[in-house]
Amino acid sequence: MKLSKTLKNGFLILVSCLILTACATKKTETTGQLQGDVYTGSDSVEYLASGVPDRVFFATNEIVLTTASRETLRKQATWLRKNSDINVVLEGHADERGTREYNLALGERRANSAKDYLMTYGISSDRISVLSYGKEKPVDSGSNPLAWSKNRRSVTVKAN
Amino acid sequence: MLFRYLLILLVLLPIKAFALIEVDITRGNLNPLPVAVSPLAIDKSSKENFKKILKKENLGSEISMIVENNLKQSGLFNPLNKDAFLQEPDIANLKPRFEDWNLIKAQALVTGKVTFVDEKLRVEFRLWDVLAGKEMMALAFTTVPSNWRRVGHIITDKVYERLTGEKGYFDTRIIYISEKGPKTNRIKKLAIMDQDGFNNKYLTLGNELVLTPRFSPTNQMVTYLSYFKNLPRVYLLDIETGMQEVVGDFPGMTFAPRFSPDGKKIIMSFAKDGNSDIYTMDLENRIVERISNHPSIDTSPSYSPDGKYITFNSDRSGYQQIYIMKSNGKNVKRISFGNGLYGTPVWSPRGDLIAFTKLHKGKFYIGVMRTDGTGERLLTENYYQEAPSWSPNGRVLIFYRETKTNAKGEGFSAKLWSIDLTGYNEKMVETETDASDPSWSSLLSN
């Protein structure tokens, strides 16, 4: 019992450390990062190559690609055409405001929505696999609309 | 190991159908029945033997404490403080002095005796109606000493059944997901424990993400979702042998598995090209059948106890709602029409109700409705909770609840909770770690 308690405390400290460091780098304004409820900021975005963002964001319960998402995917397609030896995994995610099983399906839909768009720009489906994590791997642990918007995403990850 | 037990139930005296004490479990019980659980009597040499084997000072008291705790947790009984008991356990088991037990306001009395016989644990117990001054039930059984906790649960089941008229749910286990670590990097393991939180065991090491374990009605198999090698697939696990295998050969993610009521099929979702539909696989002949065929998301399938119908979750209307269909996929009918989104339908083992999760105006509810969608009743409201699982007698639901984090994203936790079908007796279920996705087994003994 005691051991588990100290373990628990240990985890709490670990969590708060992670969050403190995240906050220290994040102290920008929280307004202007949402359009409707789609995330338009960049603080969790990484890059596949210079100028090629790795992820696109979705509205609540939606799988429709926004104008910004399509632009990001066109950049990814251009980059993939130039690097024909690279295959990718599209990892689809949902926010925490849904049941686990439905969110697994929703993540799969979002990733496929991105996949379909890449294919219309000439990327072969052989080079793209899809993996849904549902709500299991949030990038932001917050319980607020901004955090949820960052978590509703499809991330393009190099597979090789 | 747990299943390799020897259990001989023999009825000492026929159960008499007196209309004695009755506990009504169909409504919220605000006046739990006062019951005295006397420590089970134990003779000196038995006590020494069990102490040697089980490292328990007094096995008689230990078993009675299990019974007492179970009865208390049910919310239907109020076990009285042992300090007030006037009669010695061994004498009480022979012939209770009812006026003494009446004095402390006990209406029912449990007495008994444990003995060490041929390396085995022999238990007898009796249930007495204090007001009527009559014996209601007497049972004895023999088992291996390591089963001593189960003995406490079996006694509780018998007492519960005699007093409420319905089967108990105490000699059961819960399979669930143990969780640790920060919300953005959770380590999840498959875990199993007795219904009261004891005998906790981890079944996976936490190397891969695991989700949504569900018990087979036969109890030895579990089906769950594992991200082994980053391929989310439904697995079948034998919890006795540890053997496991992928269910079917699907070219994509399979998830949301459950067993058919006869344990012979697994029903699940298969997602391909952005479309999730419901499939079954027969565990004997390995034949895969497609049950639903619709461009929307169809998931969270659950059979009716007679196996003739399936309830499931679909967003074919534009939003998540609950549907039922025949087990061959025909006659699809939407049954949820209230405000909000509905998910995770689970058919009650009694057949008359479907439990669900509902999301409405930013709140999550656990509720029940009749199988035609009428009589919706919300049992509990919270920031986030989902995935109800029925106790085998259909009287209690176990589910999990997650907390809202603070402005800094801290303070996340996930815990198991249980609540009566009546909406009363909401309780957190203690687990060693954070926990989610509970699934209740059926009764281990019967």
Q: What is the pLDDT of residues B133-148, one digit of tens each?
A: 999 999 999 999 999 9
Residue range B218-236, pLDDT digits in tens: 878 999 999 999 999 999 9
**pLDDT at position A18:** 44
Has residue A4 got a pLDDT over 60? no
Distance in angstroms (rounded) separating the CA atoms of residues B172 and B164: 18
Rounded to a whole number of angstroms, the distance from the CA of A115 to the nearest CA of chain B is 9
Distances (CA, A) of B154 to A78, B70, B147: 67, 10, 11
How many CA within 13 A on the CB side of residue A132? 33
* A113 assigned to some structural domain: yes
Domain carrying residue A137: 32-158
Has residue A24 got a pLDDT over 60? no
**Which residues, other chains included, contact B414 with Cβ-Cβ below 8 Å and sequence gap of 6+?**
B179, B400, B401, B402, B403, B434, B435, B436
**pLDDT at position B434:** 98
Q: How many domains does chain A have?
A: 1
Number of helices followed by number of strands (H, E) in chain A: 4, 8
Rounded to a whole number of angstroms, the distance from the CA of A143 to the nearest CA of chain B is 5
**Partner-chain contact B271 A98, CB within 8 Å:** no
Residue range B374-416, pLDDT digits in tens: 999 999 999 999 999 999 999 999 999 999 999 899 999 999 9
User: Where does the pLDDT of residue A28 fall: very low under 50, low under 70, confident under 90, or very high at 90 and above?
Assistant: very low
Distance of alpha carbon B401 from its chain centroid, rounded? 16
**pLDDT at position A15:** 43
Determine which of B297, B317, B357, B439 to mutate to test the interface with A (most A C-beta atoms within 10 Å): B297
How many CA within 13 A on the CB side of residue B22? 8
* A14 assigned to some structural domain: no
Q: Rounded to 5, what percent of chain A is helix, strand, coil? A: 45, 20, 35
**pLDDT at position B6:** 40
User: What CATH number is associated with residue A76?
Assistant: 3.30.1330.60
* A80 assigned to some structural domain: yes
Query: Which residues on adjacent β-strands are paired with residue B108?
Result: B35, B129
Q: What ipTM did this prediction achieve?
A: 0.92
**pLDDT at position B31:** 85
Distance in angstroms (rounded) separating the CA atoms of residues A55 and A149: 12
Residue of A nearest to B434 (CA): A8
What pTM was computed for the model?
0.90
Domains of chain B: 8-164 (3.40.50.10070), 173-440 (2.120.10.30)
Has residue A16 got a pLDDT over 80? no
Rounded to a whole number of angstroms, the distance from the CA of B273 to the nearest CA of chain A is 6
Arithmetic mean of pLDDT, A77-101: 97
**Partner-chain contact A96 B384, CB within 8 Å:** yes
Rounded to a whole number of angstroms, the distance from the CA of B356 to the nearest CA of chain A is 10
**Which residues, other chains included, contact A55 with Cβ-Cβ below 8 Å and sequence gap of 6+?**
A44, A45, A46, A72, A153, A154, A155, A156
Give the H or E element holding residue A17: helix A2-26
Query: Which residues on adjacent β-strands are paired with residue B346?
Result: B355
* A16 assigned to some structural domain: no
User: Where does the pLDDT of residue A29 fall: very low under 50, low under 70, confident under 90, or very high at 90 and above?
Assistant: very low
Distance in angstroms (rounded) separating the CA atoms of residues B329 and B351: 19
* A124 assigned to some structural domain: yes
* A7 assigned to some structural domain: no
* A52 assigned to some structural domain: yes
Q: Which single residue is written with the structure tokens 């990062």?
A: A33
Instruction: Choose among B181, B183, B212: nearest Cβ to A100.
Output: B212
**pLDDT at position B46:** 97
**pLDDT at position B119:** 95
Q: Which residues in chain A are closer than 8 Å to B399, comparing Cβ atoms?
A: none
Residue ranges in chain B modelled with pLDDT below 50:
1-19
Distance in angstroms (rounded) separating the CA atoms of residues B418 and A13: 29
Residue of A nearest to B383 (CA): A97
**pLDDT at position B28:** 63
Q: Which residues in chain B are closer than 8 Å to A116, comparing Cβ atoms?
A: 274
Q: Which residues of B, range 291-350, sit inside 8 Å of A by Cβ?
A: 297, 299-300, 313, 315, 319-320, 341, 343-344
Residue of B nearest to A2 (CA): B432
* A2 assigned to some structural domain: no
Could you tell me if B276 lies within 8 Å of chain A, comparing CB atoms? yes
**Partner-chain contact B344 A101, CB within 8 Å:** yes
